[in-house]
Amino acid sequence: MKLDHFETTILFALVCSVILGLVTKKTDEERLRYGLYCFGCFMAALFGIGWAMRLLHG
Amino acid sequence: MPANAVTAPESAPLKSPILLIPLSWFVPGAGHFLLGRKGRAAIIFGTVLLTFLVGIAMRGTLFHPTDNGDVLSRLIQFGGYIADMASGVFYFAAVFMGYGPLDVAGYAPDYGAKFLVAAGLLNILAIVDAYEICTRQKD
Examine the pLDDT at B106 and tell me if it is beyond 50.
yes
**Per the CB < 8 Å rule, is A11 touching B54?**
yes
Q: Which of A10-14, A53-57, B97-101 has the highest mean pLDDT?
A: A10-14
**Per the CB < 8 Å rule, is B111 touching A1?**
no
pTM for the complete prediction? 0.86
* Segment A40-52, tens digit of pLDDT: 999 999 999 999 9
**Contact, B91 vs B28, CB < 8 A?**
no
Whole-number pLDDT of residue A57: 85
Distance from the Cα of B48 to chain A's closest Cα (Å) equals 8
Give contacts of A8 with chain B, Cβ < 8 Å.
Answer: 58, 111
Whole-number pLDDT of residue A42: 96
**Per the CB < 8 Å rule, is B108 touching A1?**
yes
**Per the CB < 8 Å rule, is A12 touching B44?**
no
* Segment B66-79, tens digit of pLDDT: 888 889 989 999 99
Q: CA B61 → CA A48, B74, B82, distances in Å?
A: 29, 15, 14
**Contact, A42 vs A17, CB < 8 A?**
yes
Whole-number pLDDT of residue A33: 95
Examine the pLDDT at B134 and tell me if it is beyond 70.
yes
B94-132 b/e (C-beta count within 10 Å ≥ 16 → b): beeeeeebeeeeeebbebbbbbbbbbbbbbbbbbebbbe
Closest CA to B11 of B129, B134, B131: B134
Mean pLDDT of B10-17: 63
DSSP 8-state code for residue B101: -
Cβ neighbours around B35 below 10 Å, total: 21
Examine the pLDDT at B44 and tell me if it is beyond 90.
yes
The least confident of A2-6, B81-85, B94-98, B104-108 is B104-108
Q: What is the ipTM of this complex?
A: 0.89
A11: contact with B, CB 8 A cutoff: yes
